Structure 1
Amino acid sequence: MRHFAYLTDDERERLFAVPPGEVGPASPRGSLALALGATLYSPGTRTALDADAERAAAAGATSVVWCLEDAVPHAAVPDAEANVVAALRRLDHRAATGEDLPLLFVRVRTPEQIRSLALAAGPALARLTGFSLPKATGTTLGPMLEAIAEVGAVAGHPLYGMPILETPDLAWRETRAEALAALAEVVAAHREQVLCLRVGGTDLSGLFGLRRDRHTTIWDVAVVRDCLADVVNRFTRGGEHVVTGAVWEHIPGGPRLFKPQLRLSPFTAQHETGLRQRMIDDDLDGLVREVALDKANGVLGKTVIHPAHVSVVNALLTVSRSEYDDALEVLMARGRGGIAVSGNGRMNEIGPHALWAELVSRRAAVYGVVADEAALVDLLAAGRRRLAEVFTAGEARRP
């Protein structure tokens, strides 16, 4: 699979200075973690999970999570488990068609649930990339990752865990350092099973009785921001792990109080002022702002709950031409030291910027390098058009 696969060859050539690369379940763990992009969550109770996944892939999603935890009432868990297994089997039956699928994960409650799902799925487990592990702590995470290693060995292909950091011991300042140290120890012991670290912004906010509105980013919620900063500090040193962003939990619509957060000029230059207004009407300007702050803080990827969010998040994870040019300059001078004034009006310090340049090059290999700011606007427009096409076709197929 590759990001923005719905583009034509001509569109890809026009919009990208360096096109997105191909990534698949067998890719190196680091590339796979970066490629998650906007991860679309669905309750495990939805009746057509397999069709939903295929539709999500057609609209540009590269990762999907089927939730058996918070999104499912306790009494409905057995039915949801059976539903997930049935969807995996249907996808496995259709695998011979070669149709692209997103990376599939199941959000589970216990290690025993991992083992029971794997046993019930049988050969259809080949359709799964791994498991999302909620409320991970230094005590609970180890058994979860051990269960994943067990079922992966039986399945004969790598399966990954995505721990979600969202518990009180992480939220409270007086216990956070100890909680992070315990988590880091478990992650290090099971490094090959950990795909990325996810942060549970909703749960962390809820512990303080808080909930951000559509005008507020997770980075504006001070107690949660402090927690996220410490998570990034612990796990992204040296580019070792990918940390992905808190869920954007707002669906389009609702009254507005504050000014829009999207500049007019880039859209005017591309004759896309209508696109800008539609994004504002759907509150996607708030999502744009939060993703920009995620990136600024070293957080890449995001959990989303609506297909309209997918192309926005993924477009914003592309690398700009100025970033790429500066990164190449730093990488080519690596080992020599010194400084250079880039053509983009910035000073590149070869030593301090070396890790930044390496991380930019990794992201460029997955998401590509957009030709210019105008191309980014066109990419946002193409994503919105694709979403409309996919869901219009889906409605037409309904009886």
Structure 2
Amino acid sequence: MQHFSHLDDDVRARLFHRPPSDVPATGDIVDRALALGATLYVPATRDDLAATVRRRAAAGVRSMVLDLEDAVADQDLDGARLQVVRALRDLADDPPEAAVFVRVRTVDDMHRVCDGIGTAAAAPAGFVLPKVRPTVGDAFLTAVSDRAEELGVPFGVMPVVETPEVVHRETRDEELSALREVLSRHRDRVLAVRIGATDMSGLFGIRRDRDLTIYDVRVVADTIAAIVNHLGRTDGTGFVVTGPVWEYFADHERLFRPLLRQTPFAEHDAVRFRTHLVSRDIDGLLREVALDRANGLYGKTVIHPTHVAAVHALSVVTREEYRDARDVAAAAGGGVQASDYRNKMNESGPHRTWAERTLRRAHVFGVTADGVSFVDVMRALAAPEGER
């Protein structure tokens, strides 16, 4: 798959110094994880699942999850499973440019989906396992590996960390240590680790307001930090960890001032666009995506297609980031030098891992042209076809 391939060639040429590269389904696992971007969850109870996937992929969504868990009532599960199987078979006839996963409740659900599709051509990109714990996760990953070998497909698994054992401080480190050992045994199968912040908040009767980010909810923010500490290490023992869902997408009466500065939008003749984003609560989402990155998370779970542009626009590497990352990566033997932009010092030792991850992100999401900001990318993604 390739990000932004749905944009016209002239728009891509205007936006990018270096356009995104194609990321094959059997490519490097870290590149594939970074390429997930905004992962859109779609309730499996929808009658038009295959059409929905194709429509969203045509609009730039590059990863989707057909949800058999929280989005489906218990009495509707059997019917939803059948709809997932029908959708996967339909999509096999004309595959969309997107990775399609299935979130299951149990290993039995996974087996039923595999039994239903029957052929490798109809196989999903993999499975999302909610409420993962060490023992259950080990059994699930083993079962997925067996079915992948049987069908001859490279199933990936995305475990969702969200249980009380991880959230509660007295059990957190032991649980995460055990989970790290399990996931490490199945490293080639674990595509990314997802964070279930909604379930975490629910343990304390909390639902964050749309004027706040998840990092303002301290019990959840502390848990995210612990998850990254255990599972998001960049020393070869960790995994890509994705950002939690942003729940809001409607107008509302604001309690606090908008989180978006006016200057970047004024500089890019986009003041009205800023007003539109604020009215749709996208300013809070943009703030949270920036904080996700600052806390070691990449990509994000989304539940509304209007959120995709914000996540993808902020995933593109700026020309400044790219030049700094190349300079750091090229430096041998340590040392420090001023950025070409004369606004920071680049240290080849402590900044090297950042540089390597930034260059991977540049490969997947591209590098902006000089003078192009996330505002320009968002406008291009949000504009109707023909108005970009």
TM-score range (shorter-chain normalised) is over 0.9
The residue that corresponds to 2:125 in the other structure is 129
Q: Is the 8 A contact 1:246 1:302 kept in 2?
A: yes
The reply on whether 1:91 has 2:91 as its aligned counterpart is: yes
1:127 positional shift: 4.3
- SS of 1:247 mapped into structure 2: strand
Q: Is the 8 A contact 2:249 2:282 kept in 1?
A: no
The whole-number CA distance in structure 1 between the counterparts of 2:88 and 2:261 is 43
The reply on whether 1:76 has 2:76 as its aligned counterpart is: yes
Q: Which amino acid counterpart does residue 13 of structure 2 have in structure 1? A: E
The whole-number CA distance in structure 2 between the counterparts of 1:352 and 1:29 is 24
The one of 318, 321, 325 equivalent to 2:319 is: 321
Change (3 A) 1:265 1:17: same
The one of 253, 256, 277 equivalent to 1:255 is: 253
Q: Is the 8 A contact 2:123 2:153 kept in 1?
A: no
The residue that corresponds to 2:115 in the other structure is 119
1:106 positional shift: 0.4
Q: Is the 8 A contact 1:165 1:200 kept in 2?
A: yes
The reply on whether 1:169 has 2:165 as its aligned counterpart is: yes
1:321 positional shift: 1.4
1:386 positional shift: 4.1
The whole-number CA distance in structure 1 between the counterparts of 2:122 and 2:86 is 13
Deviations 1:128-163 (Å, cap 9, x if unpaired)?
100000000112101111111011111112001100
1:373 positional shift: 5.7
Instruction: Kindly report which structure 2 residues correspond to 1:13-24, keeping only aligned pairs within 5 A, or say none.
Output: 13-24=13-24
Q: What fraction of aligned residue pairs are identical, expressed as a percent?
A: 47
The residue that corresponds to 2:5 in the other structure is 5
The reply on whether 1:230 has 2:256 as its aligned counterpart is: no
Change (3 A) 1:126 1:89: closer
Change (3 A) 1:125 1:134: farther
- SS of 1:243 mapped into structure 2: coil
Deviates more, 1:318-327 or 1:370-379: 370-379
1:8 positional shift: 1.8
The residue that corresponds to 2:301 in the other structure is 303
The whole-number CA distance in structure 2 between the counterparts of 1:312 and 1:167 is 28
1:34 positional shift: 0.4
Q: Which amino acid counterpart does residue 197 of structure 1 have in structure 2? A: V
Give the aligned length: 384
1:388 positional shift: 10
Task: Using structure 2 for the length normalisation, give the TM-score.
Answer: 0.96
The residue that corresponds to 2:200 in the other structure is 204
Deviations 1:338-386 (Å, cap 9, x if unpaired)?
1101122111111111111111111110011112464421210111114
Q: Is the 8 A contact 1:41 1:305 kept in 2?
A: yes
Q: Is the 8 A contact 2:302 2:308 kept in 1?
A: yes
Q: Which amino acid counterpart does residue 282 of structure 1 have in structure 2? A: R
The whole-number CA distance in structure 2 between the counterparts of 1:24 and 1:375 is 27
- SS of 1:300 mapped into structure 2: coil
Unaligned 5+ segments in structure 2 are none
The whole-number CA distance in structure 2 between the counterparts of 1:157 and 1:30 is 18
Q: Is the 8 A contact 2:120 2:153 kept in 1?
A: no
The whole-number CA distance in structure 2 between the counterparts of 1:282 and 1:251 is 6
Deviates more, 1:147-156 or 1:116-125: 116-125
Q: Which amino acid counterpart does residue 209 of structure 1 have in structure 2? A: G
The one of 333, 336, 352 equivalent to 2:333 is: 336
The reply on whether 1:147 has 2:143 as its aligned counterpart is: yes
- SS of 1:144 mapped into structure 2: helix
Deviates more, 1:345-354 or 1:230-239: 230-239
State the 4+ residue runs in structure 1 displaced beyond 6 angstroms. Answer: none
Q: Is the 8 A contact 1:164 1:198 kept in 2?
A: yes
Q: Which amino acid counterpart does residue 343 of structure 1 have in structure 2? A: D
1:251 positional shift: 1.9
Change (3 A) 1:131 1:278: same
The reply on whether 1:380 has 2:384 as its aligned counterpart is: no
- SS of 1:54 mapped into structure 2: helix
Q: Is the 8 A contact 2:91 2:122 kept in 1?
A: no
The whole-number CA distance in structure 1 between the counterparts of 2:4 and 2:115 is 34
1:101 positional shift: 2.9
The residue that corresponds to 1:194 in the other structure is 190
The residue that corresponds to 1:246 in the other structure is 244
